[in-house]
Structure 1
């Protein structure tokens, strides 16, 4: 026992203490990215629907003819909102699935005290 160096119980100023703590690390999706991708997907669907069905050849029941740009604008409003909703739901589901897998890691928290 005489060979072991004694360590002080109370750290004094000018010393370094490094407590090691256990932390839980969990990955989560970036929700803003999923919402933007959902909006982009919705606008893409609106564009496809606008040009897939040629509705400008026929007059509506109210007697008004809508241009392709107007039809795209109306569809972009609804499909964009639906895409944002879908992207949010996908992000929430991924957050739950990925959130189950947590890691317990050891982290070293260094505290340095000086006499300044």
Structure 2
């Protein structure tokens, strides 16, 4: 066990990069796909037998799916790009025992 004066250290090489959060891109893509479907559906007159809400719901299946797919593709492309810009650095890990709290019994 190490004393508080001399902490144990371990040096290793690590890769550091900024990676995008792909689920966030997918959610934003789905929202943009829904908004695009909303705009496209409102540009044309709705069939009175079906109704506007049913048309919007049906076409949203396609719009949201396409938006999620495009968002995922953009996220993966940005992730690949961040892998090329990754840096390798040397890191040092130190393990330090916590100082005893006043009134606490030591081992």
TM normalised by structure 2 equals: 0.79
Could you tell me how far apart the structure 2 residues matched to 1:76 and 1:69 are? 10
Please identify the structure whose Cα radius of gyration is greater.
1
Match of 1:78 in 2: 62
What is the number of residues matched between the two proteins?
98
Could you tell me how far apart the structure 1 residues matched to 2:95 and 2:52 are? 65
Could you tell me how far apart the structure 2 residues matched to 1:55 and 1:107 are? 62
In structure 1, the gaps of 5 or more residues are 1-11, 58-64
State yes or no: 1:43 paired with 2:34: yes
In structure 2, the gaps of 5 or more residues are 99-105
Match of 2:45 in 1: 54
Could you tell me how far apart the structure 2 residues matched to 1:34 and 1:74 are? 23
Match of 2:16 in 1: 25
Moved >6 Å (runs of 4+): none
Aligned in 2, Cα 1:13/1:80: closer, same or farther, shift over 3 Å?
A: closer
